[in-house]
């Protein structure tokens, strides 16, 4: 079943978005990077919709400071976008999702997020939403990536952004917005029961075996179906079956 789901996902093949923040004080350095299939959903009274976040423009800072139990070094990432990828009217305000990462001694955390939305003729919403205080946060060891099959960011008032097939990192020094092959992944707690104690390999290295697996499963199924059809025909023609 799981393999079937994976095969279907590959067949649909939606492209993931890559968001990153450059370090302005250093040539060719990226401090924070998020890759995902991001979706925003809002359920409020009569308003209810889900849309993909596409065509975003990303800004941020590698040297932020935020007041959390005293002062913390922060990386922030602001993702500006229009609903459905493009403004309806040149005067529309951009919507903004901001992610805040903070760093401790051995680990870092995606600990806060805000969302700013503005009304358009299609979406009658407006406001600045804060992180829902009961929502979970995400952490990883320093220099590891946070990797989640589904990474929900919950806001107040029934607003949610889900980063699907997400991989995120902050406080890094990548020379380009490209995932290093040897980057270690810390898997989300929600994904762990499936894969006890096995650190997940980077996604790219899983793609080839999955495709080969899908192909082999397809082959086995078609051979089996051919066999059944053949057997059925032989039977109906009255040959002795083997
Ligand atoms: C929701 O829609 C119904 C009917 O369309 C309307 O009577 C009601 O006032 C609306 N509620 C709000 C909060 O806009
Ligand atoms: C992204 O923006 C460009 C130009 O701003 C536009 O032509 C394109 O349709 C947009 N893509 C999506 C998916 O909306
Ligand atoms: C675009 O926005 C302006 C100012 O808000 C408004 O007057 C105009 O009607 C809008 N045009 C469309 C096509 O929505
Ligand atoms: C999250 O960030 C917003 C905007 O900076 C701030 O108002 C809010 O207090 C922060 N939430 C937490 C839990 O730190
Ligand atoms: C947008 O929603 C507000 C309430 O949230 C309502 O008062 C207003 O009439 C709505 N505007 C449109 C154009 O539906
Ligand atoms: C968080 O609170 C909201 C409403 O206040 C509730 O609907 C939701 O289930 C809560 N989530 C968790 C994980 O407790």
Tell whether 76 and 134 lie within a shared domain.
Answer: yes
Residue-range definition of the domain harbouring residue 84: 16-191
What residues line ligand 3, using a CB cutoff of 6 Å? 89, 91, 121
Ligand number, closest to the Cα atom of 84: 2
Residue 7 falls within a domain, yes or no? Answer: no
CB 82: neighbour CB atoms within 10 A? 20
Tell whether 224 and 140 lie within a shared domain.
Answer: no
Residue 24 falls within a domain, yes or no? Answer: yes
Tell whether 159 and 219 lie within a shared domain.
Answer: no
CA of 20 to the centre of ligand 5 (A): 35
Q: How far apart are CA 185 and CA 193, in angstroms?
A: 16
How many independent structural domains does the chain possess?
2
pLDDT at 10: 38
User: In this model, does residue 123 exceed pLDDT 60?
Assistant: yes
Residue 109 falls within a domain, yes or no? Answer: yes
Q: Is the CB of 156 under 6 A from ligand 4?
A: no
Which residue minimizes the CA distance to atom 9 of ligand 4?
A: 130
Ligand number, closest to the Cα atom of 89: 3
Give the Cα-Cα-Cα angle 39, 97, 125 (nearest 5 degrees): 75
Tell whether 102 and 210 lie within a shared domain.
Answer: no
Tell whether 163 and 226 lie within a shared domain.
Answer: no
Tell whether 96 and 208 lie within a shared domain.
Answer: no
Tell whether 90 and 143 lie within a shared domain.
Answer: yes
Tell whether 176 and 221 lie within a shared domain.
Answer: no
Positive or negative: CA dihedral 224, 229, 234, 238: positive
Ligand number, closest to the Cα atom of 92: 3
What CATH code is carried by the domain that includes residue 179? Answer: 2.40.160.110
CA of 42 to the centre of ligand 6 (A): 15
CA of 124 to the centre of ligand 5 (A): 6
Residue 67 falls within a domain, yes or no? Answer: yes
Tell whether 111 and 34 lie within a shared domain.
Answer: yes
Nearest ligand 6 atom to alpha carbon 136: 13
pLDDT digits (tens, 9 = 90+) for 211-224: 566 566 676 667 66
pLDDT at 56: 96
Q: Is the CB of 238 under 6 A from ligand 1?
A: no
Residue 199 falls within a domain, yes or no? Answer: no
pLDDT at 222: 73
Residue 131 falls within a domain, yes or no? Answer: yes
Tell whether 52 and 154 lie within a shared domain.
Answer: yes
Query: Which residue's entry shows tokens 């919403």?
Result: 125
Q: Is the CB of 132 under 6 A from ligand 6?
A: yes
Residue 9 falls within a domain, yes or no? Answer: no
For 111, the token pair is 């600990």
pLDDT digits (tens, 9 = 90+) for 28-66: 999 999 999 999 999 988 889 999 999 999 999 999 998
- DSSP secondary structure code for residue 226 in this structure: H
Q: Is the CB of 130 under 6 A from ligand 4?
A: yes
- DSSP secondary structure code for residue 2 in this structure: H
Question: pLDDT > 90: what percent of the chain?
Answer: 60
Q: What is the pTM of this model?
A: 0.76
């Amino acid at each position: 079943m799981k393999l079937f789901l994976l095969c279907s996902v590959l067949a649909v093949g939606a492209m993931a978005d890559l968001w990153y923040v450059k370090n302005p004080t250093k040539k060719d350095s990226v401090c924070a990077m998020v890759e995902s299939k991001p979706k925003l959903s809002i359920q409020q009274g009569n308003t209810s919709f889900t849309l993909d976040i596409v065509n975003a423009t990303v800004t941020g800072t590698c040297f932020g400071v935020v007041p959390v139990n005293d002062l913390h070094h922060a990386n922030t990432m602001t993702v500006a976008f229009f609903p459905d990828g493009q403004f309806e009217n040149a005067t529309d305000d951009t919507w903004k999702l901001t992610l805040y990462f903070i760093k401790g001694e051995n680990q870092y955390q995606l600990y806060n997020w805000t969302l700013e939305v503005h009304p358009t003729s299609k979406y009658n919403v407006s406001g600045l939403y804060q992180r829902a205080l009961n929502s979970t946060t995400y952490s990883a060891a320093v220099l590891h990536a946070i990797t989640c099959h589904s990474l929900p960011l919950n806001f107040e008032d029934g607003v949610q952004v889900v980063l699907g097939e997400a991989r995120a990192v902050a406080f890094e020094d990548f020379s380009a917005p490209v995932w290093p092959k040897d980057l270690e992944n810390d898997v989300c707690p929600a994904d762990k029961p499936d894969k006890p104690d096995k650190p997940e390999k980077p996604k790219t290295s899983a793609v080839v075996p999955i495709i080969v697996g899908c192909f082999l499963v397809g082959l086995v199924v078609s051979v089996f179906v051919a066999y059944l059809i053949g057997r059925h025909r032989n039977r109906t023609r009255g040959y002795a079956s083997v």
